[in-house]
Structure 1
Amino acid sequence: MAPKGRGRPTTQNSEGAAGAERPQGSKKVKKSSGVKSETYERYIYKLLKNAHPKMGISKQAMAIMNCCVNDAFERVSLEAVKLSRLSKSKVLAPRDIISACRLVLPGELSKHAVAEGSKTLMRYKQFTGKGNRAEEADIK
């Protein structure tokens, strides 16, 4: 049975672009529909329940909070990349992110962000057993 063409006659050109059949065994590739935005709703909700167990949050307020977190993340990451390029490094180092936090975030918020980030980095290094590269290579 011929496919329905919405009232238009089906045409096949000799190059095989539009309307041509796919080879046997090939899969149809689905195109993404735009930019995928990261959502932090789960983590925002966990923080809310940790701070105020009886309090809730509306969908609109959650969307605003998610937008704020995405915006802050984007600003810090862009600044960290700029700092990394200024130092002519191809690797984004923790010090670039710390400096970006200090530049982008205001006052007390940057101090808390740097403290929490450093604490988390130390826990990660202890958990994975990864220290600095000089220690791993036994260079003294």
Structure 2
Amino acid sequence: MAEPGSGSPSPAEGPLVCQDPEKASSPDRKQRKPRPRHRRRRRRLGTSQQPTFAIYFPKLLKEIHAGLSLSKEAKAVLDCFVRDLFERIADEAASLVRNKRGSTLTYTDIQSGMRLVLPTQLYTYADSQANKALVKFISSK
């Protein structure tokens, strides 16, 4: 067991003094081997690290209902819903492009995919919002 006061250096060792790095006794730099550099490994996005739409939900909710917030479970459900809807629209738009033997996905293809996937009222609202965002983007250039 340690004796009380053993935390301080003993007189035989001498006091601990910080030395100037230039004056400290160290092997010559030419003799010292350089540290091996580790290669940076690319991180693979796992299921928990995939990009999500969760950062946009509070911003949108603040515009509609200022005092409300969402729980983690609600954000997860909304994220799954948005991802599923996005995949459905993208799949429909891609199949339309394949059917017309094209190689470029255009705005009209996405509009047609939205029309096929979404109900009528939701499609008209989404289309008007998309047009408004497109006009805002083009005018900001």
Normalized against structure 1, the TM-score is what?
0.66
Please state how far the C-alpha of 1:127 moved relative to its aligned partner. 2.6
1:49-64 equivalences under 5 Å are 49-64=62-77
Q: 1:95 to 1:33 in 2, by over 3 A?
A: closer
Identity of aligned residues (%): 33
**1:22-51 alpha-carbon deviations (Å, 9 max, x no partner):** xx8782534525466331111111111111
Residue 32 of structure 1: aligned partner: 44
Match of 1:106 among 119, 123, 131: 119
Unaligned runs of 5+ in 2: 1-35
More helix as a share of residues: 1
Unaligned runs of 5+ in 1: 1-23, 129-140
SS in 1 for 2:55: helix
**Number of residue pairs matched?**
105
Q: 1:26 to 1:55 in 2, by over 3 A?
A: closer
Q: 1:33 to 1:55 in 2, by over 3 A?
A: closer
User: In 2, distance between residues paired with 1:125 and 1:113?
Assistant: 18
